[in-house]
Amino acid sequence: MSKFTPGPWHAEEVQPETHEPSIWRVHAEDDSIEASICFLEGGEHDNDACARLIAAAPDLYEALRELVDAASAPHPDWPRFVQAMTTKARAALAKAEGKS
């Protein structure tokens, strides 16, 4: 069983008054957890993409857990595996990629 706060998590950019660092708020839907993440400007990374990936972590974990469970049973449940691939895994990837 996971010990992290279950999803969904959301990421939103918070504009500081100085507009120098890029600050993102990642939080659970019910605001039971919240983290502020500061990305320094001028880096090679896309701050928006990094924040989305962090926010999608619970969804990605759940999709991966479902895939592993379905595929590693004594008699793999391939319909469940395919269902997890086509719904949970694709939705989690879309969220991480900012397409949902």
How do residues 43-96 score in pLDDT, each as one tens digit?
566 777 888 888 899 899 989 988 888 888 788 888 888 888 889 899 999 988
Q: Is the pLDDT of residue 3 over 80?
A: no
Among candidate residues 13, 39, 16, 15, the one with its CA nearest the CA of residue 26: 13
Tokens 């590693």 belong to 72
Q: Is this prediction's pTM over 0.85? A: no
Q: Is the pLDDT of residue 39 over 80?
A: no
CA distances from 100 to 42, 52, 91, 94, 96 (A): 27, 11, 8, 6, 9
Phi, psi (5° rounding) for residue 17? -60, -30
- Whether residue 37 contacts residue 88, with contact meaning beta carbons closer than 8 Å, is answered with no
Domain boundaries, the chain: 9-96
Residues pairing with 10 in the sheet? 27
How do residues 9-36 score in pLDDT, each as one tens digit?
888 888 666 656 677 788 888 877 777 7
How far is it between the farthest Cα atoms of the chain? Answer: 58
